[in-house]
Structure 1
Amino acid sequence: MNLRDLHTQHGATLAPDGIPLQYNDLATEYEQAHHAAVLLDRSHEGRIHLTNISRFELLNRMSTNKLVDMTAGEGRATLFTNDHARIIDRIEVYNLADTLLAITEPGQGPSITNFIQKHIFYGDQVQLADVTTETAHFALHGPQAVAIAKLINPDIHEDTTLAAYQATLGSTPVTLLRRKAVVGTHWAVICAKTDAEQVYVDLLSLGAPLGLIPAGSLTFNTLRIEAGRPARPELNTDYIPMEVGLYDEISFTKGCYTGQEIIARMDSRERIARVMVQLELDNLVQAPADLFLDGRLIGKITSSVQAPNHHVYALGVVKTAVAIPGKLLTAGEATATIVDYAGTQPTFLKPEQNTSA
């Protein structure tokens, strides 16, 4: 039985790419994500291997974060930006000893591979391989996700930094990644494509006593909006990384990269025109939608969703001066309340959040 048939057998409604959108009950998926754990197939997120001695330097000079001093097993998120410091894309990079593993946003594996390939210069000693179709990628989310991860590898450390571990699930070799959380903790399990069905079954069996159930992309989208995590609606050339809560994915001590001067200037002047905020609405407004304050256009909703708990959550990018918790805005016929900043903000906006290099 292939993975698509296995998902269907468990009650999944599938997207055209075979990734589950939902299983039988979105409310149950959402509840378990908040109180136990859910298992998602995230195989549409790209996976790229970089090998040979120039692998660190290549990504370091192309992106916002410092990568040349990564230790074995360490992970860091970083962004590609254009000449105007606008976001091209975001990846997470993990040091697997002799290989760097880059995880892309969904569907971006081929385009990011081509983008990196174009920046390999004469003299660079690096090989690049898009291994998305050769591997599978499952994700554990929720407060019990770390307990399930510890059943796979008892030696993992309990903290929030990105990290990679090698392990076996049953007799199958897997790579275990600690990633940015959207609820509880977030662990990825990467395996060979030929082992995908067995790994999926083994994960569900291993986690069942802890409340693990399968969930789909619709639940993930709800969780990431509720948590203030940017995705494709925010990770694009409309925005600069500091505007969408990704200050912790920028190093201000490394060498040059495309867009660096603009980002460094914004930080040194402690001036940012727009900022991403978490919103709650009194009824659903489909994104994108303009946001107004006293009739004045001050930003827009970029992502929105009505959760199974009947709350309407949204992300919006607004003028910094109005990004005040409790501030009431309007979007169409809805009232939108600013809950807080989303993500990690510059030190001059929210100093207690800053953990960047």
Structure 2
Amino acid sequence: MTVIEGQQTDLGAEWTEVGDRRIPADYGRPARAHGAVRRVVGVTEMPYGVVVVRGEDRVKYVDNVVSNDVPTEDGEGAYALLLDPQGGVELDMYVYNAGEQLLLFVPPGEAESLADEWREKVFIQDVEIEAATDEFAVFGVHGPKATEKIASVLNGGGTPEGHLSFVRGRMAEVGVTVIRTDAPTGEEGFEVVCTTGTTVNETGEERENAELVFDTLLTQGLNAAPFGRRTWESLTLEAGTPLFETELRGRIPNVVGLRNGVDFEKGCFVGQEVVSRVENRGQPSQRLVGLRPEAVPERGAAVFRGDEAVGEVTRAVESPTVESPVAFGVVDYDVGGDSDADLSVRVGGEEVPADLAALPFVEGSDRSARLPEY
């Protein structure tokens, strides 16, 4: 459940379920909120699951099982994957070194099972693993004015400069950590993290930390528009950012071009043999592409080249920025070029024309680090 349901309801939130979290789908006008993020700045609740790893061997333990190098210095973060033996993505996550502990932000609903699984594999290492989703609130701040927004409300620290680096400070008397994101929306982005609990504000009133931070992000300094999950999905699709739920789960990183999630030179980790073999072969069997269909297909809709099925749609929206349908599709690697001018997708039982499109669909104030590369 959202940590600030009453506040969200007062803003007109309509609800959806993501993993085990009930969060705002939108606030009644998702296209308008989308435009606010593209032009100025917006704020959204991020429904991560949170896992905390402590102990002397915390960095070594996590580094041994994920696909990317775990940061060793306080204030640094990395994007990494947990792969199965066949190289498929089981989870994606952000790993932050917060001094005496690592904070892992994982997809909604996945923290408990991940913590349980990892605890069973601890033998002589000095490691403590805890699912701590309920202890944290995380808010995303995205848009070309996001840096200005954070600077106007953060006390005791400057805005972090590098992607996935973070600083500590205060907002409305609440201690916060501010992370510069890797631009999943294609815009400047930050995530503001606070612990749940209460703080006495300047007037002596006791309020929830999350409520104070969310209210500050919306109304103090440069005003920001609230946005929900539907807008998140349209923004990330326009930016060319594959998401765990729709593009990543079960697929090997090479297929979705997720080069920032894997260190191909790293030592042994689960699934490494498969992703390395595909890398050395030169190309995977499929790839993730942008499509411009004439109508919005459903997830899983077939992609055709002539009469031959060559892939499927993973996500599609009516783009508020492009003002036409856009989609992600996983297709055979050789799809492309002039010979594939007859691509189509199935919509409502009929095939409608679709063109391959360069990613991202929209160039914003920053580029997504997950933009597919082959």
TM-score of the two chains, using structure 2 as the length reference: 0.85
Correspondence for 1:260 among 272, 289, 314: 272
Q: d(CA) in 2 for partners of 1:119 and 1:229?
A: 32
Q: Specify which of 182, 194, 211 is matched with residue 197 of structure 1.
A: 211
Residue 269 (structure 1) aligned to one of 281, 295, 308:
281
* Partner of residue 313, structure 1: 326
Aligned mates of 1:53, 1:203 — CA distance in 2: 36
Answering whether residue 27 of structure 2 is matched by residue 26 of structure 1, we say no
Deviation (angstroms), 1:60: 1.2
Mapped partners of 1:212, 1:198: distance in 2: 15
Q: Are residues 118 and 306 of structure 1, via their aligned partners in 2, closer, same or farther at CA, if it must alter by over 3 Å? A: farther
Q: Tell me if structure 1 keeps the 8 A contact 2:290–2:356.
A: yes
Give the equivalent residue in structure 1 for 2:98: 96
Alpha-carbon shift at residue 149 of structure 1 (Å): 2.2
In 2 relative to 1, CA 201–242 (structure 1 residues): closer, same or farther, beyond 3 Å? same
CA contact (8 A) 1:323 1:341 kept: no
Q: 1:110 aligns with which of 99, 109, 112?
A: 112
Q: Does the C-alpha gap of structure 1 residues 306 and 341 become closer, same or farther in structure 2, counting only changes over 3 Å?
A: closer
Contact 2:290 2:327 (C-alpha < 8 Å) held by counterparts: yes
Cα–Cα, structure 1 residues 323 and 86, in superposed 2: closer, same or farther, change >3 Å? Answer: farther
Q: CA deviation at 1:99?
A: 1.2
Q: Aligned-pair distance for 1:324?
A: 4.8
The answer as to 2:166 corresponding to 1:164 is: yes
- Residues paired across the two proteins, number: 339
Corresponding position of 1:330:
344
Is residue 2:136 matched to residue 1:125? no
Which residue is equivalent to 2:205?
A: none
In the TM superposition, residue 344 of structure 1 has moved relative to its aligned partner by 4.2
Alignment check: 8 A CA contact 1:82 1:88 kept? yes
Q: Residues 9-28 of structure 1, C-alpha deviation per residue, up to 9 Å, x if partnerless?
A: 11111235441111131121
Determine which of 31, 34, 39 is the counterpart of 1:35.
39
Q: Which amino acid in 2 is paired with 1:40?
A: T
SS at match of 2:237: helix
The CA distance in 2 between the partners of 1:52 and 1:331, in whole Å, is: 51
* Stretch deviating more after TM superposition (133-142 or 317-326): 317-326
Tell me if structure 2 keeps the 8 A contact 1:285–1:334. no
Counterpart CA distance in 1 for 2:337 and 2:84 is 30
Q: Is residue 2:357 matched to residue 1:339?
A: yes
Q: Cα 1:124–1:323, aligned 2, differ >3 Å: closer, same or farther? A: farther
TM-score under structure 1 normalisation? 0.89
What secondary structure does 2:295 align onto?
coil
Matching residue's letter, 2:101: T
The residue identity in structure 2 corresponding to 1:337 is: D
Aligned to 1:140: 141
Partner SS, residue 85 of structure 2: coil
In structure 2, relative to structure 1, the CA distance for the partners of 1:323 and 1:126 (3 Å cut) is farther
Partner of 2:316 in structure 1? Answer: 304
Name 1:64's counterpart in structure 2: 67
Following superposition, the deviation at residue 113 of structure 1 comes to: 2.1
Cα pair 2:160 2:180 within 8 Å, conserved: no
**Cα 1:240/1:214, change in 2 over 3 Å:** same
In 2, the alpha carbon distance for the partners of 1:88 and 1:341 equals 25
The Cα RMSD (Å) is 2.0
Post-superposition offset of 1:225: 1.4
Which shifted more, 179-188 or 333-342?
A: 333-342
Name the structure where helix makes up a greater proportion of residues.
1
1:275/1:323 contact within 8 Å kept = no
Give ranges in structure 2 of 5+ residues lacking alignment.
198-208, 361-369
Over the matched positions of the two proteins, sequence identity in percent amounts to 25
Could you tell me which runs of 5 or more consecutive residues in structure 1 were left unpaired when the two chains were aligned: 350-357
Q: Distance in 1 between matches of 2:311 and 2:257?
A: 15
| Deviations 1:289-343, CA, capped at 9 Å, x for gaps | 1111121111111111123353212111111111459955211132222112574
Counterpart position of 2:220: 206
Q: Secondary structure at the match of 1:200?
A: helix
Structure 2 CA distance for partners of 1:116 and 1:229, relative to 1, 3 Å? farther
Q: Given that residues 276 and 315 in structure 1 are in contact (C-alpha distance below 8 angstroms), is that contact kept between their aligned partners in structure 2?
A: yes
